Each structure stands twice: as C-alpha cells, then as structure tokens.
C-alpha cells in the first residue's frame, strides 16, 4: 500500500482503487472523498470518508447498506464474499456455525430483510457469533429509520477498521 502522501498525489482512479474496498462494494464513497484531498492524516481521511456517507442521500445510504452481504448467507456459501468480508465473518465465528446456529441466523436474516428491505449489518470484527445473533434478534424491534441509522453507524465501524488495516 502506498503511503498517504503518495495517495494524496495519486491519480483519482488509483486513490479509488486503494480505498474503494473500505466501503463494501461502494467505490463511490472513495471517489467522492478523493475530491477532498490532501489529507493530513489517516484520521483526516477517515473523517472525509464518513462525511461523504453522512451527506449521502437516503437512496445512496440504502444502496450502501444493500451492498453488504447477508451474514453467513448465500454469498458466503457460494464463495462470493469480498476478501474483507470473508476475513471479518470468519473472525466472528460465522464460518463455523453449528447447524442450529446457521438455521437461526438464516431465519433471523430473512425476518430482518422482509421487515426492513435491506440486510442486517453489524461490525463482525467487534462481535462474536452469539452476540451477532442476539443483536439481530433485538434490532428486529426497531423502526426502519432506527435500522438505517444503526446500519450506517455499523458500516462506519467496519470502514474504520478496514482503513486501519490499510494505513495502520
């Protein structure tokens, strides 16, 4: 990974390639943040990325949420997760679910998707599988507006950790 100074001087497409994966299948966040260069620090870059998301329209926020895979879902079973999502879901123990845990997670994910119209998002790296299942169960009681806010906040945590991986 090039240094932040090098990325401040890089062509926009190179900058977007480097930081596009910070937001799951949503390179538009890095593309818009690129226009705010130069960044004095990783934190400055993080704030710019968060600012892009914060100022996004509701439709863009929903697209960002929907870009996230269902936890331990079809994409995981089909091997279609991003490299980052594979690592994150594995760190939470989602790759080694017992049959009853997998069935419960599938059931809860389906209920959540039906209720809110987007997948449940949680920062898997900061949680274990039992906490994820419990949080999913609890968040089903929320309003759609609360869940959009929760998902965007969790995406911010995911992005912060991914950015730390790229620029420690």
Q: What is the pLDDT of residues 76-87, one digit of tens each?
A: 999 999 999 999
Whole-angstrom distance, CA of residue 96 vs CA of residue 71: 12
pLDDT at residue 141 greater than cutoff 90: yes
pTM, to two decimals = 0.95
Residue position matching structure tokens 């090039």: 2
Average pLDDT of the residues in 123-141: 98
pLDDT at residue 1 greater than cutoff 90: no
Name the residue ranges covered by the structural domains of the chain: 69-146
Whether the bond into 131 is cis, omega within 30 of 0: no
Active site residue 68: yes
Q: What is the pLDDT of residues 33-79, one digit of tens each?
A: 999 999 999 999 999 999 999 999 999 999 999 999 999 999 999 99
What is the CATH code of the structural domain delimited by 69-146?
1.10.3330.10
Q: Which of 32, 68, 129, 139 is catalytic?
A: 68
């Amino acid at each position: 990974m090039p240094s932040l100074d090098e990325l401040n001087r890089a062509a926009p497409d190179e900058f977007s390639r480097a930081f596009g994966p910070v937001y799951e299948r949503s390179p538009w966040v890095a593309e818009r943040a690129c226009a705010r260069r130069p960044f004095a620090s990783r934190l400055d870059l993080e704030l710019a990325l968060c600012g892009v998301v914060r100022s996004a329209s509701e439709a863009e926020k929903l697209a960002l949420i929907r870009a996230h895979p269902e936890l331990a879902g079809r994409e995981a079973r089909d091997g279609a997760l991003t490299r980052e999502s594979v690592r994150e879901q594995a760190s939470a123990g989602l790759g080694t679910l017992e049959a009853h845990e997998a069935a419960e997670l599938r059931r809860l994910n389906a209920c959540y998707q039906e209720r809110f119209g987007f997948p449940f998002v949680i920062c898997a790296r900061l949680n274990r599988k039992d906490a994820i299942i419990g949080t999913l169960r609890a968040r089903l009681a929320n309003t759609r507006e609360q869940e959009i806010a929760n998902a965007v906040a969790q995406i911010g945590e995911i992005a912060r950790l991914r950015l730390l991986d790229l620029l420690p």
